[in-house]
């Protein structure tokens, strides 16, 4: 049986006033848990306004109002909404509604808080998308949830506790953090709210002992997790004047960890033995590029090898956008195949209506979303590494692929070009780069160094590119040599 909002409503309508007694009132441990939850979950909120998802009987609502927040609560159950309304006695607003369809204008709240209601959402991605929209720049989202724990069902039976009447999805902290990143949030904190299984608190009366030892206990047995995210809007009106640093990750301890990993990676890659052993383990496009993009600086270096820094990286992205803008109009829908961290999209988005930026790497896309969170006409997609099945036929007016095909096996490149032909509209244009085949001596030297690397270069001749594009049905094919790259420009025209 899957998640059902109707089941959630029925369950909480039925529990009504008994909700608090069942969880927090029948044992002193339950009351202690309530103190722990309110303290641990809500400590990283910003001052100002808050939208609280899932008010239940108003326990959290009363706490937030007492702390001085400008409070709005959203509750799916009408019975629970009425109970909360009575409890807060006019000191806030309660709306009966659905968290996956938030009835608020953009940039309304400083905080969005979901205390153990996230795991009831059938489509949490809709909630996260909506939450990002209604939060102010640098607004915060706090999500707590019941964690995915091995042996949960065995423990429940040993404790002789009845099974829940409502289905829910259990998550790990990392899973929820990854979901938040996917929808444009920087992660400020992830961890456990509790230090023991939730049911232990609810079923113990030894709170005096629990209070004494609780702070000294590790949280490894905790079954309630929390993730705190922050919107990474820059508020930039002109992307050409934007600073790369404005959307860098300010996560405490998070970026430092990746910086350390990246330093280790750089040292190890200098040793041939490590390369021979490790590259086969990363022998997929996704794993290879995830490994290469541990930090924003390492991603820049992987995309443009030898780039001197962020300034040069941005300048090259701007220059490429200046070249590509000749192929788009203000009404164009554009596909960027292999977008990386959005190097070109950042600047090309000014000249077109919509860009769909596609990459195989989760980590590259996370960095791209973080860098370009304020750009409303750029959408990011993680594809499967071998086709463009996310998109329908004839979707795009312009498709470009820069520094992509040289990293793909030639049969994979041909498959992608066939897919590009499919998703291109009638009269649409393709702009693609292929690496120009250098001397045999250079190829041999590079092959010896990178034979184990899935991202090693696959070389082309200009004639080979022209023949390939004609074979796939493109017309008006023009190829030219620009530095070390062969540029192929062609169209799809239906007769």
- The DSSP bridge partners found for residue 295 are none
Confidence of residue 347 (pLDDT cuts 50, 70, 90): very high
Q: Where are the beta strands (DSSP E) in 62-213?
A: 70-75, 93-96, 109-115, 135-146, 185-192
The pLDDT-based confidence of 257 (bands split at 50, 70, 90) is very low
User: What's the total number of domains in the chain?
Assistant: 2
Whether 2 has a pLDDT exceeding 60, the answer reads no
Mean pLDDT along residues 29-55: 88
User: Based on the domain organization, do 269 and 305 belong to the same domain?
Assistant: yes
Instruction: Tokens 């934007």: give the residue.
Output: 242
**What confidence score (pLDDT) does residue 411 get?**
82
DSSP-assigned letter for residue 436: B
Of 278-282, 318-322, 423-427, 491-495, the poorest mean pLDDT is in 278-282
Worst-scoring range by mean pLDDT, 22-26, 55-59, 107-111?
22-26
The pLDDT-based confidence of 451 (bands split at 50, 70, 90) is very low
- The residue from 212, 231, 250 where one domain ends is 231
Whether the pLDDT of residue 349 is over 60: the answer is yes
Asked whether the predicted pLDDT for residue 247 surpasses 50, the reply is no
User: Residue 216: is its pLDDT beyond 80?
Assistant: no
Q: Which H or E run includes 378?
A: strand 378-382
Condensed to tens digits (0 to 9), the pLDDT of residues 308-338 reads 778 888 999 999 999 999 999 999 999 999 9
| pLDDT classification of 141: cutoffs 50, 70, 90 | very high
| Coil, strand or helix at 85 | helix
**Residue ending a domain, choose from 211, 231, 251:** 231
Cα–Cα–Cα angle for 396, 410, 485, rounded to 5 degrees: 70
437: pLDDT confidence band, cut at 50, 70 and 90? confident
pLDDT, one tens digit per residue, over 154-163 is 655 665 655 5
CATH number of the domain enclosing 255: 3.40.50.150
Together in a domain, 59 and 26: yes
Looking at the fold, whether 209 and 243 belong to one and the same domain comes out as no
For the chain, helix (H) and strand (E) counts, in that order, are 20, 14
**Same domain, residue pair 434 and 365:** yes
The model's confidence at residue 455, banded by pLDDT at 50, 70 and 90, is: low
Q: Do residue 225 and residue 102 come from a single domain?
A: yes
* Residue 448 belongs to domain spanning: 239-491
**Same structural domain, 26 and 106:** yes
The answer on 247 and 225 residing in a single domain is no
For residues 260 and 138, membership in a common domain is answered with: no
pTM exceeds cut of 0.75:
no
pLDDT band (50, 70, 90) for residue 256: very low
Question: Distances from the Cα of 321 to the Cαs of 42, 135, 402, 431, 491, in angstroms?
Answer: 43, 31, 11, 12, 19
- 250 in the same domain as 220: no
Nearest Cα to Cα of residue 180 among 145, 149, 148, 150: 145
Decide: residue 119, CB within 10 A, 0-12 exposed, 13-18 middle, 19+ buried: buried
399 by Cβ neighbours in 10 Å (0-12 / 13-18 / 19+) ranks as: buried
Q: Is 146 exposed, middle or buried (0-12, 13-18, 19+ CB in 10 A)?
A: buried
The tokens for 74 are: 């959203």
Last residue of one domain, picked from the residues 231, 252, 278? 231
Give residue 132's pLDDT. 94
> Which is more confident, 209 or 388?
388
Asked if 371 and 438 sit in the same domain, the reply is: yes
pLDDT at 157: 62
Predicted confidence (pLDDT) at residue 343 exceeds the cutoff of 70: yes
Q: Span 328-357, mean pLDDT?
A: 95
Instruction: Note whether 243 and 223 are same-domain residues.
Output: no
11 lies in the same domain as 38: yes
């Amino acid at each position: 049986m899957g998640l059902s909002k109707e089941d959630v409503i029925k369950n909480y309508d039925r529990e009504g006033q008994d909700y608090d007694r069942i969880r927090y009132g029948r044992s002193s441990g339950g009351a202690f848990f309530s103190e722990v939850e309110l303290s641990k979950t809500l400590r990283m909120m910003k001052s100002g306004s808050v939208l609280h998802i899932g008010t239940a009987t108003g326990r959290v609502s009363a706490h937030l109002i007492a702390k001085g927040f400008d409070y709005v609560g959203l509750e799916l159950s009408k019975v629970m909404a009425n109970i909360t309304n009575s409890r807060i006695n006019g000191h806030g607003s309660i709306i009966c509604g659905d968290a996956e369809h938030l009835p608020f204008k953009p940039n309304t709240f400083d905080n969005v808080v979901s205390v153990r209601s996230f795991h009831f959402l059938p489509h949490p991605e809709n909630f996260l998308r909506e939450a990002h929209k209604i939060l102010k720049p640098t607004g915060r989202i706090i999500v707590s949830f019941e964690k995915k724990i091995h042996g949960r069902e065995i423990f429940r039976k040993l404790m002789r506790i009845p099974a829940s009447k409502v289905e829910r999805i259990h998550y790990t902290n990392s899973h929820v953090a990854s979901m938040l990143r996917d929808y444009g949030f920087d992660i400020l904190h992830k961890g456990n709210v509790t230090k023991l299984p939730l049911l232990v608190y609810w079923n113990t009366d030894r709170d005096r002992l629990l209070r004494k030892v609780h702070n000294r206990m590790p949280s490894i047995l905790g079954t309630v997790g929390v993730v705190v995210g922050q919107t990474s809007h820059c508020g930039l009106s002109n992307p050409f004047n934007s600073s790369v640093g404005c959307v860098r990750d300010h996560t405490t301890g998070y970026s430092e960890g990746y910086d350390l990993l990246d330093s280790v990676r750089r040292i190890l890659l200098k040793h041939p033995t490590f390369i021979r052993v490790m590259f086969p383990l990363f022998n997929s496009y996704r794993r290879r590029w995830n490994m290469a993009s541990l930090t924003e600086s390492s991603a820049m270096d992987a995309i443009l090898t030898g780039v001197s820094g962020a300034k040069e990286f941005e300048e090259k992205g701007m220059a490429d956008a200046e070249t590509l803008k000749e192929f788009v109009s203000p009404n164009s829908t554009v596909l960027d195949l292999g977008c990386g961290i959005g190097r070109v999209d950042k600047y090309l988005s000014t000249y077109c209506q919509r860009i769909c930026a596609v990459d195989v790497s989760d980590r590259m896309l996370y960095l791209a979303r973080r860098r370009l969170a304020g750009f409303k006409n750029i959408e990011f997609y993680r594809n499967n590494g071998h086709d463009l099945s996310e998109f329908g036929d004839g979707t795009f007016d312009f498709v470009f692929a820069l520094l992509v095909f040289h990293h793909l096996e030639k049969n994979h490149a041909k498959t992608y070009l066939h897919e590009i032909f499919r998703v291109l509209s009638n009269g649409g244009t393709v702009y693609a780069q292929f690496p120009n085949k250098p001397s045999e001596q250079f190829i041999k030297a590079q092959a010896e160094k990178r034979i184990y690397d899935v991202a090693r270069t696959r070389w082309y001749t200009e004639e080979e590119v022209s023949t390939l594009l004609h074979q796939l049905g493109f017309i008006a094919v023009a190829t030219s040599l620009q530095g070390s790259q062969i540029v192929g420009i062609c169209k799809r025209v239906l007769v």
